[in-house]
Amino acid sequence: MKIGILGMGTVGAGVYKIIQENKKEINKYLDNDIEIQRILVRAINKDRAIFIPSELLTDNYDDILNDESIKIVVELMGGIHPAFDYIKQAIMKGKHIVTANKALMATHGKELEDLAKQKGVFIKYEASVGGGIPIINTLMDSLAANKIEEIIGIINGTTNYILTQMTNYNMSFDEALKLAQDNGYAEADPTSDIEGEDAAFKISILTSIAYGISVQPNIIEREGITKIDKNDIKYASKLGYKIKLLAATKRFNDSVGIYVYPSLVPNEHPLAAINNEFNALFVRGNAVGEVLLYGKGAGSLPTGSAVLSDIMSVTKSINNNIRNSKKSDRLDNNMEVRGIGKSQYYIRLQVIDKPGVLGKIAMTFGEYGISLDSVVQNGRDEKSVPLVFITHDIEKEVLDNTLKVVSSYEFVEKVASILKVESIEK
């Protein structure tokens, strides 16, 4: 089975290495080999971490598009353009697609899937979410008999690594980010990761699969981790929580709640124990109950493994003359998309330490219908002190309106932090 690969970065190198090293296992599963026919690169003469014969390399996409022996195009370039145009052209030529491109599938997945179905070819994208964790195939196949009630998890390794360093080694956000960059867990420009965009792409894809509703990433309620500091880590620990950047999608009667938000997770919950670059997804189905998938969410070989899984799946379908003949539109666009909804929240205020401050703030919360679960006040004989609250369930809009009033008081210096408290059922 001849394939063409678009891009030879970290994931491309992993795919190439696995194909070379695991030929025996691949052949045993498929009864034939997977052969790389051509690789599209920007610069043919660039030094690479692995040796690739020069005759495989090209800087002209037409060499792959017009090669009729290539049945599967593997897109590992990343970004939306030119990847989107390349994939569309390949589908129109009757080629099957395997991609690891989360931004592309979150933004244009429905269009590409519809086009693939029209042409009878497959488009697979297991590696777009969770690296080596088989979440997409699990939802599509293993849990297909279930109504998925919720998916919640840690699906960005960069932010989880940063928060782990802040929690375990008392690092500041900036120190932990620099360490993540030095160790290759964060890009030189980490904006997409630390602002929650990367996680929004991934949870958009999972929502489409789980609930059949197309959600554009740019409408997902999200917040990153840039406002979290060591004080939040400390107070969360005192209250029995770990701070994690969670992505979640939850089905209600006629709506779907979807969000990416830094959250306090109870120490006893499995997600609280997921550290460093690892990812984990907690799935609840109405028949299977609770399932936890855990593994490396990024990296050359884990992500390459997911790509190879898709390549081998498509190869088997081709060998058995199976065409993609699913219905062209399975999406339920009548469902309302909303954000977090009601939740508990952690709030850290910085206030002037004088009598009556706590009472006045607590009274204001009460006037707006916000009841408090916990209050922590540390620091005495200091002019300015932190004041920490955990609320009972409240709509975020009500909380925001209340905090506007609270922040107007002359003794409130700032609203330093607002985090979600994830009340996950155990």
Helix (H) or strand (E) holding 387: strand 384-391
Q: How many CA atoms lie within 13 A of 87 on its CB side?
A: 32
- According to the annotation, is 356 in a ligand binding site? no
Say if CB 266 and CB 241 are below 8 A apart.
yes
- Residue 190: cis peptide before it, omega within 30 degrees of 0: no
Rounded to 5°, angle at Cα 10 from 8 and 16: 55
Q: Token digits for 192? A: 């997409």
Q: Can you spell out the DSSP letters for 54-89?
A: GGGEES-THHHHT-TTEEEEEE---SSTTHHHHHHH
Rounded to 5°, angle at Cα 139 from 271 and 94: 135
Q: How many CA atoms lie within 13 A of 203 on its CB side?
A: 36
Rounded to 5°, angle at Cα 257 from 251 and 263: 115
Give the C-alpha separation, 162 to 198, whole Å.
15
- Under DSSP, is residue 314 helix (H, G, I), strand (E, B) or coil? helix
- Residue 266: cis peptide before it, omega within 30 degrees of 0: no
Say if CB 95 and CB 72 are below 8 A apart.
yes
Asked if 24 is an active-site residue, the reply is no
* Phi, then psi, of 296 in degrees rounded to 5: -75, 125
- According to the annotation, is 289 in a ligand binding site? no
Give the C-alpha separation, 238 to 280, whole Å.
24
CB-count burial class (<10 Å; 0-12, 13-18, 19+) for 360:
middle
Q: Are strands 289-296 and 278-285 parallel, antiparallel or unpaired?
A: antiparallel
- According to the annotation, is 13 in a ligand binding site? yes
Q: Which residue has the tokens 């800087």?
A: 59
- According to the annotation, is 153 in a ligand binding site? no
- According to the annotation, is 301 in a ligand binding site? no
- According to the annotation, is 8 in a ligand binding site? yes
- According to the annotation, is 150 in a ligand binding site? no
Say if CB 122 and CB 321 are below 8 A apart.
no
Q: Which residue has the tokens 């089975």?
A: 1
Q: Which residue has the tokens 């904006």?
A: 191
CB neighbours of residue 373 within 10 Å: 14
Q: Which of 95, 117, 124, 202 is catalytic?
A: 202
- According to the annotation, is 10 in a ligand binding site? yes
Q: Chain centroid to CA 5: how far?
A: 24
Q: Which residues does the annotation place in the binding site for NADP(+)?
A: 6-13
Residues comprising the binding site? Answer: 6-13, 102, 187
Which residues are tagged catalytic?
A: 202
Residues making up the annotated binding site for NADPH are 102
Q: Which residues are annotated as a binding site for L-homoserine?
A: 187
